[in-house]
Structure 1
Amino acid sequence: MTQAEIKALFTQMTLAEKIGQLTQLPGHFYSNDGEITGPIAELGISEEIVHQCGSTLGISGAAEVMRVQKEYLAKSRLKIPLLFMADVVHGYRTIFPIPLAMGASWNLELAQESARVAAAEADVAGVHVTFAPMVDLVRDPRWGRVMESTGEDSYLNEMFAQAMVRGFQGEHLESGRVAACVKHFAAYGAAEAGRDYNTVDMSRLMLRNQYLPAYKAAIDAGVKLIMTSFNTVEGVPATVNRWLLRDLLRKEWHFEGTVISDYTSLAEVVNHGLASDLKDVAELGLNAGLDIEMSSPSYVKYLAQLVDAGKVRLADIDEAVMRVLTLKNELGLFENPYRGANVELESKLHFSAEHQAVALAQAEESLVLLKNESNILPLSKEKKVILIGPKATARDHIGAWCWKGDKRETPTIEEALLPYFPNMKTVEATTMDEDIGIADAVAQAKDVDVIILAIGEKRSFSGEARSKADITLTDMQLRLITALKQLNKPMIALVMNGRPLDLHGVIEHVDALMVCWHAGTQAAKAIAKTLMGMSVPSGKLSMTFPHSVGQIPVYYNALNTGRPLKNFAPVVGYSEDYLSKYLDIPNAPRYPFGFGLSYTTFAYSDITLSKAAFSKGESITASLTVTNTGNFAGKEVVQLYIRDCVASVSRPVKELKGFQKIFLAVGESKELHFTINEEMLRYYHADESFSSDAGDFTLFIGTSSDDDARKIDFSLV
């Protein structure tokens, strides 16, 4: 439709039909039973209202989508198609590694391709919008939804946000693509105590400098929708936060797309204490700039009354409705209400060999090798091995947001390793009597060369509403490792996890440790290939692993404090005993952001600069040479960090400002160049202005955020 035709359609709409477009109901409202019972009756929603609502979530499958759309249109006066939305987070039918693992790949091209594949599979199943990517910055691994984020760094999250949006949406929402909905706006990842849905309270500076940039990056990439978060921002729930939705999103960032609440988050404003009932909630939401209410009935029940009472402007409703109609038009739904849905293509595309190959490549690059003493890895086929642990025969590698994934199609680690070790023994060590299971594992491991431990978290231990205060492995797994250590045999730990863990009881006992995450339908094959050296690990942590839970939040780009333990500048009259530190644990994390080992080694030359100072409008180039000095061809993530030495507000000790993932053959060298311009040095000041300061800066290029071996100073004049 042309814009004129959309406006002509809009002029025919009644107020009730307009409000319907601003309401989203779960898929069970469109079930086949045809009875207005259960949740429909409880919410006081009539069948007429159900068939005026503009979108639904959780329905998929080409046949089902076409059935629902056909029945919906038959009862629609103006034949405005229903919009189908769903959580396609890290794959639809073919499941990719969880986003935190994708972040650890530091491979933007693979992430974009993974999103393209997910979009293609969702599109043929009739899905129009995916509630992804989640770009929340997270510094607390206790939060269950950390698995859905790409980590703790603003810049890295920005890059992945844009890659995922491009992968989902393509250039112009062409065939095989879906509209993306970035979430959760804003700062959901900073929930206090790592407890889901909890309060968020932070300074405006922290919000602007660290937590908001990834949302803005997604908008710059053309994302079509934004989902509000459950939490408060400066005491006001994000879903009714006028500053967030109108001042920042619309006026400052010029976002023209659709804003949708999270599941019942608008109704939950009553629990936050800002409204006494759903009528108040509807007024707050619409006036704040919320377009679509998801899964609660405030809008459909009360907006018309609020218009009559003069508490809600009809013009604001009209603007919101036009945004929804525009989205439907951009998706081509007026020309083809059954856009994408294709039963025949479903069977061909879903879980196809081509898509599984992408999942395998993504899984391989997501694995992070944290320890490899005496180069025990990769393994030789001549070794006599035993596979032990609760994850040995598990199929739950597909993670928490695997909506249409089928774990029955996911190979186990045992199945993936048997082709290489046909005589391998496997002990799950998960008997009802743990002591018997552990004793059996020890007995069977006495005559092997190497013990492979398959350990970690169940996928149900991470995800929404899956926060944990204790992020160590289970007591049974720790006792199993301690018992096996007594055999004095080499041990390799494969850790399947949805969050950074406290790895006490593991690290000190094993010879090699690889974080495998929940890496999707091809996880086991990727793990096996990597253990055998057919794939060389190249992942780097996108989130810090703490020394213990008592450090949390612990992250690399912290402010320096007046008495830092590291690089303390002595102050007259103060003892070095009085520094910012713990008495019982180190300040340093167990493994820092950006850390990850390889089977090969890389040598870095010193950094050179094209010049030592530059001014606004200019740039400088930092150069260095990286050489593969080991015995395996492999990939290295070369990371660039900058520290602003003197600023108008306290600044982080360093910030990631660039990276390159490069492949080097054995003995190969490559000269790398990084451009530094004035825009990279800007930040938000106390008055919320965004600019850089002239002065001195330090540039670091290395293998992780903790690598200070190479640094060089420059100035902005």
Structure 2
Amino acid sequence: MDDPRVAIRHRLRPAAATVTVRLVSSPNTAPYRDPTQRTARRVEDLLGRMTLAEKAGLLFHTMIDIGPGGSLAPADLQAGLIDAQELVVNRNLSHLNLVGSGTPRQLARWHNRLQDLAADTRLGIPVTVSTDPRHASSDNPNTSVLAGPFSRWPEPLGLAATRDAGLVERFADVVRQEYCAVGLRLALHPQADLASEPRWPRVVGTFGADPDLVCELVRAYLRGLCAGELGPGSVAAMVKHFPGGGPQRDGEDPHFAYGREQVYPGGRFEEHLRPFAAALAAGASQVMPYYGMPVGTPYEEVGFAFNRDVVTGLLRERLGFDGIVCTDWGVLTDDRYLGQERPARAWGVEHLDPAARARKAIEAGVDQFGGEARPDLIIELVRDGQVSEQRLDASARRLLREKFTLGLFDDPYVDEERAEETVGRADFQAAGAAAQRACVTLLSNAAGHSPAHLPLRPGLRIYCGDLAPDALRGHAMPVDDPARADVAILRVQAPYETRPGPIDAFFHAGSLEFPPERRDRILAIADAVPTIVDVYLDRPAILTPLADRAAALLVTFGVSDDALADVLCGRAAPRGRLPFDLPASAADVESGRPDVPFDAAEPLFRYGHGLNY
């Protein structure tokens, strides 16, 4: 292959320093390899050189893992993962979703080895590596990755609780720097969904229930990821879940057949579109339609990825989007994940075979299939005349255009030393900790007690419950028995119903009420000693039984013990405000309309509530 004018990183050598090599221009340089050419010219030149199989490979974007020490991992059929050689070389995939983690140096090394593999293919198309969120405490293999070596921040709900667009932009800029350092160039986030149904398990990834605030924060997030305008220093964003994933019947999630119906009894479909319009205006280059299928609307009752009126009619024609539309993961084929067989999330088109599903999605306006590695399906459709190669070219242009825009053809490699220096940098960690403190939301202080118990006076004997005693060092004396304490501190998880199965169990769904045994344990301690209760909200909770009996009631959104202790001890003040209503009862939740934010007449605590001291 001719490589003139391509900025490449010298091939990895054992224990070698990273060296940048810039090759000299040549009259024989292929236009797509020439960075002085316009992007449109480079795209058309490369597209004209591609075979049907190479074009088909562009349309798939599946998961991949990292191997020991930053090596390319072998296939793991139990986890449903295929090895890099098969994906990149044999199936021509060049978009891969990294699901594993490692040290910054290992992540960078793995990324460079992956790009080496791609460089040795016929056309040398670099790989775009994507990731789910990696900067918080959530760890759901379907939706997010534990922060690990990356700086740790609150969940998006916590960022929403700060109501600080500047903070959100700074956070996204840190994400951009840390991702770019290890070669992650596509964020499978943010969620632009409205948290209108409090039982929905994906509320934790949203910016809350207020459309105005969600629009403001989504715009800020996109500014931080793009660093002004999408380019070589940017992380592209795949905004999800179009046209808004909040209005799920009974709050169930459409990862599962029992949660596939999306309903709009309040007629608020348009309200859920607003944050997506804001995201597109702010530079989102990719959009992910949700699994859900609309019920009781003018739209066809099929999953949104298969819905032409939604993808082409709303997104492409009405909102004017000409970027990449990628389906949510696994809408074509049945798969095996976490050792469990699961059906394709092909709601409303379950009766179609995978090839027919692919054709329907392409006809709807989709460019790429997430979580799938079946280019053979597209090759079959084109050869059978069911999909034209011209239609395939339209999607391929969008996908190639973004690779060129991100600078991947000119320098796809990363520097291991720089990765080590950048990811988890001290100032990034400090900024994340400050954001955690800022999102702490104080709902009540001195309820049933006098005077107020927060901030904590120095020298108290404190029963720490699940709070690490070291977090109170120098301020209080930890004791291991509530009966010996002046104050108790309890950190509890918002309630949910545990679902059977290794995949379902990761989704916190069902009732928002504490089970009686958990509620009674908390209240028994609260009745024995003044008790400060902190509830981690990954979605709203019914806190009515606690509100009048806790000495103080706080809610947090992915906050470390140290950050919470700083607020409890008065080293920082609680600044958070609720990003949604907290319902007073299960009856209020069940009577609410899933598409309508703030639908309860008398919530226990209203949106925006939060005390200070």
TM over 0.5: yes
2:602 aligned with 1:588, yes or no? yes
AA aligned opposite 1:276: L
Please say which of residues 127-136 and 27-36 is displaced more in the overlay.
27-36
Report the Cα offset of residue 250 of structure 1: 1.2
Instruction: Give 1:443-522 correspondences, 5 Å limit.
Output: 444-457=481-494, 466-487=507-528, 489-519=529-559
Report the Cα offset of residue 290 of structure 1: 0.8
Report the Cα offset of residue 181 of structure 1: 1.1
AA aligned opposite 1:508: D
CA distance in 1, matches of 2:236, 2:205: 18
AA aligned opposite 1:80: I
C-alpha change, 1:349 and 1:310, in structure 2 (3 Å) is same
Matched with 1:220 is 281
Q: Say which of 125, 129, 133 aligns to 1:80.
A: 125
TM-score between both structures, scaled by the size of structure 2: 0.79
Instruction: Give 1:235-384 correspondences, 5 Å limit.
Output: 235-267=301-333, 268=344, 270-273=346-349, 275-298=351-374, 300-338=375-413, 341-373=414-446, 374=450, 376-384=452-460
CA distance in 1, matches of 2:66, 2:432: 34
Matched with 2:461 is 385
Partner deviation per Cα, 1:168-192 (whole Å, 9 max, x = no partner): 1111245653111101112322111
- The higher relative CO (CA closer than 8 Å, separation ≥ 6) is in 2
Please say which of residues 500-509 and 122-131 is displaced more in the overlay.
500-509
C-alpha change, 1:58 and 1:128, in structure 2 (3 Å) is same
Report the Cα offset of residue 382 of structure 1: 3.4
Q: For the Cα contact (< 8 Å) 1:387–1:454, is it kept in 2?
A: no
Matched with 1:229 is 290
AA aligned opposite 1:264: G
Q: Say which of 99, 115, 135 aligns to 1:69.
A: 115
C-alpha change, 1:383 and 1:49, in structure 2 (3 Å) is same
CA distance in 2, matches of 1:494, 1:109: 26
CA distance in 2, matches of 1:552, 1:376: 31
Matched with 1:120 is 177
CA distance in 2, matches of 1:549, 1:481: 19
Partner deviation per Cα, 1:417-445 (whole Å, 9 max, x = no partner): 12322x222x4xxxxxxxxxxxxxxxx33
Matched with 2:93 is 53
C-alpha change, 1:266 and 1:163, in structure 2 (3 Å) is farther
AA aligned opposite 2:327: S
Q: Percent identity?
A: 25
C-alpha change, 1:305 and 1:49, in structure 2 (3 Å) is farther
Instruction: Give 1:638-649 correspondences, 5 Å limit.
Output: none
Partner deviation per Cα, 1:503-555 (whole Å, 9 max, x = no partner): 13321211211112222xxx222211211222221211111111122212658
CA distance in 1, matches of 2:497, 2:134: 16
C-alpha change, 1:478 and 1:358, in structure 2 (3 Å) is same
CA distance in 1, matches of 2:497, 2:543: 19
Unpaired stretches in structure 1, ≥5 consecutive residues: 394-413, 428-443, 562-585, 600-717
Q: For the Cα contact (< 8 Å) 1:133–1:183, is it kept in 2?
A: yes
CA distance in 2, matches of 1:218, 1:35: 36
CA distance in 2, matches of 1:530, 1:560: 28
AA aligned opposite 1:593: Y
Instruction: Give 1:566-581 correspondences, 5 Å limit.
Output: none
C-alpha change, 1:450 and 1:271, in structure 2 (3 Å) is closer
CA distance in 2, matches of 1:290, 1:560: 33
Partner deviation per Cα, 1:5-37 (whole Å, 9 max, x = no partner): 221111111111111111112114997466797
C-alpha change, 1:461 and 1:189, in structure 2 (3 Å) is farther
AA aligned opposite 1:239: A
Matched with 1:646 is none
Residue-pair matches, total: 526
Matched with 1:207 is 269
Matched with 1:545 is 582
SS where residue 188 of structure 1 aligns?
coil
AA aligned opposite 2:264: M
For the aligned residue pairs, the C-alpha RMSD in angstroms reads 3.1
Q: For the Cα contact (< 8 Å) 1:94–1:355, is it kept in 2?
A: yes
CA distance in 1, matches of 2:325, 2:514: 39
C-alpha change, 1:29 and 1:122, in structure 2 (3 Å) is closer
- Higher fraction of strand: 1
Report the Cα offset of residue 591 of structure 1: 0.8
Partner deviation per Cα, 1:65-96 (whole Å, 9 max, x = no partner): 1111101221x111111110111254551121
AA aligned opposite 2:353: D
CA distance in 2, matches of 1:180, 1:186: 16
Report the Cα offset of residue 588 of structure 1: 0.6
CA distance in 1, matches of 2:289, 2:435: 29
TM-score between both structures, scaled by the size of structure 1: 0.68
Matched with 1:167 is 224
Instruction: Give 1:183-198 correspondences, 5 Å limit.
Output: 183-197=240-254, 198=259
CA distance in 2, matches of 1:530, 1:249: 44
Report the Cα offset of residue 458 of structure 1: 8.9
Report the Cα offset of residue 557 of structure 1: 10
CA distance in 1, matches of 2:365, 2:583: 39
Q: For the Cα contact (< 8 Å) 1:544–1:556, is it kept in 2?
A: no
Q: Say which of 19, 26, 34 aligns to 2:63.
A: 26
CA distance in 1, matches of 2:535, 2:76: 48
Q: For the Cα contact (< 8 Å) 2:535–2:555, is it kept in 1?
A: yes
SS where residue 272 of structure 1 aligns?
coil
C-alpha change, 1:539 and 1:55, in structure 2 (3 Å) is same
CA distance in 1, matches of 2:482, 2:47: 72
SS where residue 321 of structure 1 aligns?
helix
Unpaired stretches in structure 2, ≥5 consecutive residues: 1-34, 102-106, 137-146, 334-343
Report the Cα offset of residue 289 of structure 1: 0.9
Q: For the Cα contact (< 8 Å) 2:496–2:512, is it kept in 1?
A: no
Q: For the Cα contact (< 8 Å) 2:580–2:608, is it kept in 1?
A: yes
Please say which of residues 1-10 and 158-167 is displaced more in the overlay.
1-10
